[in-house]
Each structure stands twice: as structure tokens, then as C-alpha cells.
Structure 1
């Protein structure tokens, strides 16, 4: 489910419980599968509607959703977490439909008073249960994490190996997690599969380091280039770039290359599309050995006070 839950329900972010329930009932009447047989799009919208209501109608879940934002909320919580304890029986009052349809659509992920197919926070579970989530570590390339990409994976589930293609979100950092819905372990009781959680390990880059969306490169240059000026070749994720070095540039001076960093990620919206910057740190190279001519030149420079 990719849309913001407030948009799904068509309510403002400061709507109270009654406004949420009223909006839910109106849309539930419109999208209910009994009114839209053989309509996969309406069924998906109905699922999305129930998921949105399950989160926003619960004060605790709503606070976390508002705090984390849609993307991070889904990275942290499973479908079972989302539906646990939701009172759908009350929510469906006056719609002409019962909440029993949710058992078939969601496979018993809810629970608690008036929930469906579960027992909330401690009761005996009923019906098919969701399979266990599966967490695996995946190593991705530095550029792949910074700019995004796709990765073909082979994972081992409880029912055997499975191959799938997953998206690496642009701008994700080392240790970040990606949740892939319904690709975890299958349910032993006929319910939906759990989720696959990818814990990303970002490989080091030989020339670049990263701080948030910004990249840094140490660029070794001959001392003469820093003193007299010239050009330098800077490694970037978009290929090598040439920059001009001004005469008299000091050791450790940095030059900023705007828009050549990693993709920025917003805590609420996820990937923004904007990119950070790359900072080139200019470091002089000192020769380990000097021939007679070079030594003589350096001695002359020293005599001149350089």
C-alpha cells in the first residue's frame, strides 16, 4: 500500500475519531467487494481503505504513523501489527455489510474486540494465521544504495528456495531495512505468507565515503598543481569529472560538486529524487624518493622560504 493513509480516507491530518469513522463507512459502502464483484482494482482499494483505518483509528498506531511517516512506518511494522486490535465490527455498523469479509481478504491478521481472525494481545487465535516474517542480510554495492537499483535474490524460506527481484530504494544507508510484502515464510495453516525483511549491508567504495546524502573523495595531487594551479580528475558515481584547481590551493582544501551525491531520503516521504553533493578534498602527494634534480629544486625552494 503506497498512498498516504489520510489521502486514502480523504480526511485531514487533524481529523478526530468520528470523522475517520464517517469517512471509512462512506468509502467502505462504495468499495465493498459485494458491490464490486470481479473487480480487482476495487478490491485492492478496499484493502487499502481498511489498512488506513486500522492505523488511523488507533491512537497509538496513529502517533507512530505521524511520527515515522508512511515509508518508515511500513519498514518497521508488519501487516499483523497494523491490524491487531482494530474494532472493525463497530466501524462497519450502518454500512449494510459485516466485517466478516475481512477474514477472506486478509487471512486473519487482525485481532482484539471486534477484530477478525486473531486474538489481539493475548487471546487464543482462530483461523489461518499469517506466516512468519523472514529477515535476511543482503550486501549491495555503494552506488546501488546511493542511487537505487534492482537486485535478483535467491532466499531460503521454510518451504525451500525462492528467487525474486527486489528494488533497492535510492538513498538507503547501511543497516537500512526493506520490507517486501508476502514474500516471507508461508503460513502453516493456509493464511497469507509473512513478509520478507531485507537488512542491507552497503559495501565500501574504494574512493568515496558517504555522510547522509553527501559524498566525500580524497584526491591526491602533485604539490606543483596545488601551488601553480591546474586540473584534477574527481571520481563520482556518474563517472570521472574534471575540476579546475586554483593557484595557491591549500592542502586539505575542498571543492563542492553540487548534485553528484546520493539521492536524498525524506523521513516521511522516502526517496525524494534530489541528490546531495560531492566534496573533493585536495591532498598533496609527497614523493617518497627524490632524484638529484628534484632534490635540488626543493632545496632551492627552501632557500627562497617556500
Structure 2
């Protein structure tokens, strides 16, 4: 199967997944307590006014008609209007999306940069202090709740030592890169430093579990590959140990790591809710929490749909990259 046919097949499968998510999200609104009309109206409102608002929102229509209208609006970007701000949902979600993507990618970079070298060292120095240290680090990283870690980082590094800010995101990465692209180097690099300064603690908090997971996966994969016959044959031919480890063994170890990294990026996009809440990061996680508290179902639905789309797209790209890295894997 060619790459184009593979991508087409996976895209069609992804559409069914997104349709399932949309259906579940739509159905949750009707089984959850609370009435959307109560968000817009005071408790003592006149019943006629309440009925008029219900008609304007389309809540008096049969369920299947509401569902059909909701599905029909998604392909053209019509996710409805926010109940609290009366602004388009898609615009609100897309305004928050860059912050979440920046945090997820930064957490992934932190995890990969730390975890892969640590896993290689742990595997090549088995039963040595470096291996024990990496194992303890992995156990701590997997066991530590990220909300507790975030609070501790704020207390120690932000409050006590005043090395990092406690919260917020005064400038986005896109703004800094745009200034650099327009040759405003001084302002662009200042914004880039400010962005990196503010995202460091949230990225570490979100990426710690991911770092521990990749470290353990790299270690186990390296140990498995080091015991195979092609490694012994390469050493017998006189190839340098560094070449054997990093060109052959690590390359084969990266195949499952790529899959996990891709899946975790999608998970980080939707799982940054707690981290964003701790650091007041203006991303989708904060928007989801605010929407739940305000009973703003259209915004909540739109946020979850965008997260689902991102997860599906990342999975398709990971499958394609997996087959590219490992030519033995067919596009099927």
C-alpha cells in the first residue's frame, strides 16, 4: 500500500473516531445536570422570556434535529455561540489553542531531551550507580502527581528563589517568532526569552511523567536490542562500540518510542488541564474548566472536539512516521 492510500485510509478511520467523539460530547449535555437557559437568565425571570430564550437557542426542538444541526455546522466551522460571551465558539477555542500546543510541545521536548540519553546511559551501564539513579528517577517521575509537583516548583523556584514566574503567559511563541521573522531581532529575542522563562516550570511539570515513561521505555528497548545477534555480529566485525550503540541499537529502539511520543503528544494536549490550572496558563485546559464552571456547553463541546481532532491527526502522522523509520513495516 502506498503512503497516499495509507493516509487516506487512516483519515477515513479518523473521521469515524471524530464522529464518535462528537456524538458522545453532544449526548453528555443532555444527561448532565443543569439547564443552559439558566446560564443566561436569572432565577426569577418571566416564564415567557425563558421560553423565548429556549426557542432562540433551539432547545425546544427534538433531539435528532439538534444533533443534525450540530453535525452540519462542524464541517464549516460553526460550533455555535458561547452562552456567556455570545461569541463564536471556534474563535474562542482557536485563541486558546496555541498556548496549549506550546505547552505540550515544550513538555515533549523536555521529556525527549532528558529521557533518551538517560535511558541509553541506564541500559549501557546496567547494575551500576547510573542505572540505579535512572531507575529511581523514573519511579519518582511516574509516582509524583503533576499538580503537587507544580505547586512545589512554584514554592521553591518561583517564591523562595525567585528564579521563575509563578504563572501567566505574557507573550506567545508565535509573537516572538513573528518579530524575528520581520527582522525585529531585539524585541523578538526578548519576547522569546520571556516566553521560555514563563513556560519552563509548566513544561517540567507536565513533562515529568512523560520523561520517566520514555526513560524506562528506552532502557528496556536498548537492553532488548543489545542482546540480539546483529549486535554481536557488528562487534565481531570490529565496528566501534559508539557506532553500534547509537546508529544501530538506538535507531531500532526509537521505533516504539516514536509511537509512544506521538500518542503522548495527543494525550498532553488534552491532559494539560491540571497543569494549566496550577500555573494559570491561558490554554484549552483553563478554558475547559471555566466552561464547566459556567455551564457553557457550546464552548466545552468545541474544546473537546478540537482536542479529539488533534489527537487523531497526531496518531495518523505517527503511523506514517513509524513506517518511514522502519521500512519493514508496511502501510497497512
TM above 0.5:
no
Higher RCO (C-alpha 8 Å, min separation 6): 2
TM norm structure 1: 0.22
Name which one, 1 or 2, has greater alpha-carbon Rg.
1
Higher helix share: 2
